[in-house]
Amino acid sequence: NLQIEDDRTGLSVECLKRAFLDNLFYVQGKFPKIATKNDYYMALAYTVRDRLLQRWINTAVIYTDRASRTVSYLSAEFLMGPHLGNNLVNLGIYDQVKQAVSELGLDLEDLLEQEEEPGLGNGGLGRLAACYLDSMATLEIPSLGYGIRYEFGIFDQDIRDGWQVEITDKWLHCGNPWEIARPEWAIYVRLGGHTEAYTDERGRYRVRWIPFQVIKGVPHDTPLLGYKTNTANTLRLWTAEAPESFDFAAFNSGDYLGAVQEKMVSENLSKVLYPNDDSSQGKRLRLAQQIFFVSCSLQDMIRIVFGQNVPLEKFHEKFVVQLNDTHPAIAVAELMRLLIDEHDMGWDQAWSITQKSLAYTNHTLLPEALERWPISLFGELLPRHLEIIYEINYHFLEEVKAKFPADSDRLRRMSLIDESGEKYVRMAHLACVGSHSINGVAALHTKLLQQDVLRDFYQMYPEKFNNKTNGVTPRRFIVLSNPRLTNLISSKIGDNWVKNLKDLKHLEAFVDDPEFCSQWRSIKSAIKQDLVAYIQKQNGITVNPDSIFDIQAKRFHEYKRQHLNALHIITLYNRIKANPDIDITPRTFIFGGKAAPGYYMAKLIIKLINSIGDVVNNDPDVRDRLKVVFLKNYSVKFAQRVYPAADLSEQISMAGKEASGTGNMKFALNGALTIGTLDGANVEIREEVGEENFFIFGLTAPEVYALKARGYRPLDYYHSNRELKAVIDRIASGHFSHGDTKLFKPLLDSLLYRDEYLLFADYQAYIDCQDYVSQVYRDRDRWTRMSILNVARMGKFSSDRSIHDYCQDIWNIQSVPIELGE
Ligand code: 26V
C-alpha cells in the first residue's frame, strides 16, 4: 500500500533526501555541481527546521488556546551551541539523516562542522540557561527564553606567541536558518529624558516620562524542541533598531547623515555581548542593553496576557519570570512602571503582582561581580525607574525598621542604595526585595549566600531562600557528543536513562563484568585517539594516547586557579630534570578557555601555560611523558569534543568561590574522574559518586575563612616547601621565557605577597593528591571501575532534575503535553 509523506514533515530516508535536494534548489538556489559545503549545511538545516515547524506551531496553538501558565526565563546570555545536531537527536532522526546525506555522497559530521554556533554568552551562566530551555521543552513545560540577539557574540580566541588575541565573532555572516524575525511584533523602549508629575482626570498623582530616545526591539524566534516530545518552545531574542519615524526631523532639514547616525546609535544596543564575567564597570551601554531586553520582554508578556483575555491583575498567574542573575533585575522597577504608569494600577496591587511574578537566581560569590550602577548614570538613562526604586526602598526600609527596630547599621547595609561613597543602585538588593524566591545554584553556594553575601536578606526573608543545584542536559552532553558511550550504555540498560538520568544507576550491575569493562575502556581509548589527531592537526603536538588526559576547560579566572595546575606541571618537570629516568605516569595536560579581554592577570596565566608547553613539549629529557596543550577558542562545539576524551577533570577553585560549576558535571557524565576542592557542586558530586571515587584535596570554605582571619602569609609556604620554592624559582629564572625574568613577575609577586586565592596553602595537598591519581591510574581495572561508577551515579545532575525542582518549589507549574494533530 502506497504511503505519501509530506516533503516538509516526512522522516523516512527517501523523503529526507528529496526534501534536502529541494531546499538546496529552492532555498539556496544551487544544484549539487556548484553547491558549497555551506549550501549543503543550509539545505539540511532548512530540512530539519521544516520538521520542527509543525511541532512549534502546534505547541503555540495549544498554549494560546489554554492560556497555559508559562515560565519566562530572562537572561542576558544564552550559550546555545550548534542547533543542527541537537535537533537531529531530539527529533530522533540522527541515523536517518546520516544515511540520507551519505547516499547523496556527503558526510553528516562534515556538515555539522559547518555550523557557526551562536556564542551569546560568556560561560556557565549562559550555558545553564541553554540547558534549562532544553529540559523545559523535554519536560513539556510551557516556557519562553527572553534575551538579546547580539550581532557579535563572545569573541573568537586566537593564540599568538602564547598570548590570547581577540577576534570579532561574525556568527551571522552566512545567515541564520534557525530563526524567524517577527517585525510585526516589534516593541518600543524609552531611554533618558526626564519625568513630569501631573494630576489625572480622577485627581490622582501621576508621572509622565518624556524620553530622550526611543529604541525599537524586533523579536527573532528560534524553536527549541524537546527530546522525543512534540513540544517546541521558543527562544525570543531582541534586536535593537531605530524607530522608522524617529529621524524625520533631521531628514527633512536635509541632515541625511545625522539621521543615519541616529540609526547607528540605536543599533549599537544589540551589537555586542560584553565579554566580562566579573564586573560591569558602570558602562552605560550595558545598562541600556539590560533595560532594552527586559522592557521588550515584559511588554511582550503583557501583550500575550491581553491576547489571551487574561486580566492584567492576573499577570502573575499567567507568567512566572525567572531572573538569571541580576542582569535582568531592572525588571522589578520596569514591571512596576508598566503596571502603574502605563496600565493605571495602584502601587500596592502592582507591588503584589511584581513580587508574585519574579524570582531571582544568584550565580556568584565574588563581591566584585555583584552589579551596582552609579546613581548619576542610572538616573540619566532611567529617570522614572530611579524614582520607583527610591519609593520601593522607602517602603522596604520601613519594613526593615519594623522587624529590626533601632538598627541603623542594618538599614545602611540593606538599602537598595549604597551611600558609603559615590552613590550606587545595588541590583542584587533590588532583586531580593522584588522577588518571592531567591536561590543559589548548589547547596554550599546557597548556604554561603545565607550566611554571608545575602545574610541580612536571609534574616529578613528566610522563607524566600532555597537551593536549586545546577544540572546539565544529557541530550547534548552525552547522547550527541558521545555516541559511542551512549550506545554501550543503552545496549546494557535500554535508553530510558536519556529522559530519566537516575536510571544510569543500573550500570552498577555491570561494573564487575570484564567484557563490559573492557568495552568501556576501549571506547575511552578510541575517543582519546580522535583528540590526539585533532591536537596533531591544530597544535602540531604529538600526544601519547596512553597518557592521562588531564583537562581543565573553563573561563580563565584567578579564583579557578589554572595556575595551580601549572605549578603541578612544573613540579613534575622539575622531578624529571632532577632525575631523567624517574618513573612517572605519563600525562597530557590540556587547557581550554577564554580570558576577559581586560583581565591582565588571566591573560598572563594563558601566556604562562603556553610558555611551559613550549619548553616541556620540546625538552628531550621529558620524552613522551609530559605534554602541555592549549586548545584555542574553547566553545560549546569544542566542549562537546573535549569532555568525552577526559580521564581527569580539574575542578580546583579556592573553596567558597565557585558557585556551582557545570563543567564538573559534564566531565563526570562522560566517565572522567574529578580532582577537586570542596567547592560548589563538587561537594554534591562527591556525595553521589562516593568519596572513594573522587579525588578531593585542599582547604574547605570554613578553613579558607579561618586562615584568612588568622593572617595568611604565602611567603612562609614558599620558604618552607622545597618543591614549591623550586617551581617558583624556575619561573622567576626565565626558564620558560627565554631568559626574560620580568615577564611573569606580576604573577609571581601576586602569589608571593598576596596569593588571594591561596594557591600556596593548597599546593602540597594538590601535589599529594595528583601523585595519588598517578598511582591509581596505573591500576587500569580500578580506574575503569571508578569511571563506570561515576557515570552510574550522576543521575542527580541532569538539568531535568533541576527544572523539576524549580517547577515544584518556585514556579508552581505543570506540564502541558502536545499532541501532534493535523
Ligand atoms: C557576570 C557579569 C558581571 C557584570 C558584567 C557582565 C557579566 C556577565 C556575566 C556574568 C556572569 C558571572 C556569573 C557566572 O557565570 N556564574 C557562574 O554560573 C554558573 C551557573 O550557575 C555556575 O556554575 C558557576 O560556578 C558560576 O561561576
Interface pTM (ipTM) of the complex? 0.94
Q: Is the pLDDT of residue 246 over 60?
A: no
**C-alpha cell, 238:** 531582541
Give the mean pLDDT of 433-447: 98
Query: Where does the pLDDT of residue 250 fall: very low under 50, low under 70, confident under 90, or very high at 90 and above?
Result: low
Kindly state the average pLDDT of the residues 288-311: 98
33 is catalytic: no
Say how far apart CA 296 and CA 299 lie, in whole Å.
Answer: 5
- Per-residue confidence at 259, pLDDT binned at 50, 70, 90? confident
What's the pLDDT at 278?
78
**Residue 98, H or E segment:** helix 94-103
In one letter, which amino acid is 304? I
Q: What is the DSSP track for 165-183?
A: EEE---TTTT--TT-EE-G
The percent of residues above 90 in pLDDT, for the chain, comes to: 95
679 lines ligand 1 (CB under 6 A): no
| pLDDT of 781 | 98
Mean pLDDT calculated for residue range 618-631:
97
What is the share, in percent, of the chain residues with pLDDT greater than 70? 98
Q: What local confidence, expressed as pLDDT, does residue 262 receive?
A: 79
Q: Which residues pair with 675 in a beta bridge?
A: 650, 695
Supply the pLDDT for residue 7.
86
User: Is residue 447's pLDDT more than 60?
Assistant: yes
Known catalytic residue at 554: yes
Give the per-residue pLDDT at 125. Answer: 98
Task: With a cut of 90, say whether residue 820 has pLDDT above it.
Answer: no
Examine the pLDDT at 558 and tell me if it is beyond 80.
Answer: yes
Backbone phi, then psi, for 224, in 5-degree steps?
-125, 110
Contacts 24+ apart (CB under 8 A), 750-755: 750/601, 751/563, 751/714, 752/714, 752/715, 752/718, 752/728, 753/714, 753/715, 754/714, 755/712, 755/714
Residue 794 has a pLDDT of 98
**Does the pLDDT at position 571 exceed 90?**
yes
The torsion of the CA quartet 559, 659, 794, 592, rounded to 10 degrees, works out to -40
Q: Cα–Cα distance between 2 and 92 in angstroms, integer?
A: 24
- Counting atoms of ligand 1 from 1, which one is nearest the CA of 371? 4
Closest C-alpha to 598, from 277, 150, 288, 285: 277
Read off the C-alpha cell for 310. Answer: 487574561
Burial 705-742 (b: 16+ CB within 10 A, else e): eeeeeeebebeebbeebeebeebbebbbeebbbeeeee
- Give me the residues paired with residue 651 across strands: 676
Please answer whether residues 464 and 437 qualify as being in contact, where contact means their C-beta atoms are separated by less than 8 angstroms.
Answer: yes
Q: Could you tell me which CATH class the domain 474-797 is placed in?
A: alpha beta
- Which atom of ligand 1 lies nearest, measured to the CA of 127? 20
- Give residue 261 CA to ligand 1 midpoint distance, Å: 34
Q: What is the CATH number of domain 67-81+117-151+177-246+256-468+805-811?
A: 3.40.50.2000
- Considering the chain, what is the average pLDDT of its residues? 96
Between 514-539 and 483-493, two packed helices, what is the crossing angle to 10 degrees? Answer: 170
Domain ranges within the chain, ordered by starting residue: 67-81+117-151+177-246+256-468+805-811, 474-797
Residues 474-481: what's their mean pLDDT? Answer: 98
Q: What confidence tens digit (pLDDT) does each residue in 384-430 have?
A: 999 999 999 999 999 999 999 999 999 999 999 999 999 999 999 99
Judge whether 17 counts as a catalytic residue: no
123 lines ligand 1 (CB under 6 A): yes
- Is residue 556 scored above 60 in pLDDT? yes
Q: Which three cell numbers stand for residue 163?
A: 598570548
The CA-based dihedral angle spanning residues 65, 70, 74, 79, taken in that order and rounded to the nearest 10 degrees = -80
Instruction: Output the pLDDT for position 277.
Output: 81
The Å distance, Cα 147 to ligand 1 centre, comes to 16
Q: How far apart are CA 497 and CA 490, in angstroms?
A: 8
Q: Which pTM does this prediction carry? A: 0.97
550 Cα–ligand 1 center, Å: 25
Query: Cα–Cα distance between 510 and 585 in angstroms, integer?
Result: 28
Tell me what pLDDT residue 576 has. 98
Span 66-115, pLDDT tens digits: 999 999 999 999 999 999 999 999 999 999 999 999 999 999 999 999 99
C-alpha 445 to ligand 1 mean position (Å): 13
Q: Confidence band (pLDDT; 50, 70, 90) for 248? A: low
| Domains 67-81+117-151+177-246+256-468+805-811 and 474-797 in one fold | yes
742 catalytic per annotation:
no
CA distance 510 to 492: 8
Residue 53 main-chain phi, psi, to 5 deg: -60, -40
Q: Ligand 1: which of 274, 289, 325, 654 to mutate, judged by most atoms within 8 Å of the beta carbon? A: 325
Q: How far apart are CA 204 and CA 201, in angstroms?
A: 7
Confidence of residue 240 (pLDDT cuts 50, 70, 90): very high
Instruction: Tell me which residue has its CA closest to atom 16 in ligand 1.
Output: 363
Whether residue 658 has its Cβ less than 6 Å from ligand 1? yes
Q: How many CB atoms lie within 10 A of CB 245?
A: 9
Confidence (pLDDT) at 3 = 60
Helix or strand run (H / E) with residue 181: strand 180-181
For residue 779 the three cell numbers come to 591500576
- Please name which of 236, 181, 231, 179 lies closest in space to residue 62, comparing C-alpha atoms: 231
Residue 364 CB–ligand 1 contact under 6 Å: yes
**673-676 sheet: strands from edge to edge:** 626-631, 587-592, 548-553, 648-651, 673-676, 695-696
Q: Is 560 in the active site?
A: yes
- Top-confidence residue, 276 or 501: 501
Cβ(93)–Cβ(86) below 8 Å: no
**160 given a catalytic annotation:** no
Give me the catalytic one of 363, 475, 561, 594.
363
Q: What is the mean pLDDT of residues 511-530?
A: 98
CB proximity list for 652: less than 8 A, separation 6 or greater: 552, 560, 561, 564, 565, 675, 676, 677, 698, 762, 766
Q: Pull the grid cell for residue 648.
A: 581527569
Residue with cell 562537546: 640
| Per-residue pLDDT, 1 | 53
User: Residue 618: left (phi > 0), alpha (psi -120 to 50), or beta?
Assistant: alpha
Q: Is the pLDDT of residue 788 over 90?
A: yes
Instruction: Give the integer Cα–Cα distance in Å for 598 and 249.
Output: 40
Would you place residue 251 in the very low, low, confident or very high pLDDT band (cuts 50, 70, 90)?
low
Its sign, for the CA torsion 269, 270, 271, 276, is: positive
Q: What pLDDT is attached to residue 242? A: 92
Answer positive or negative: Cα dihedral of 582, 583, 586, 590. Answer: negative
Region 753-775: what's the mean pLDDT? 98
Distance of alpha carbon 664 from alpha carbon 667, whole angstroms? 5
Q: How far is the CA of 328 from the centre of ligand 1 (A)?
A: 13
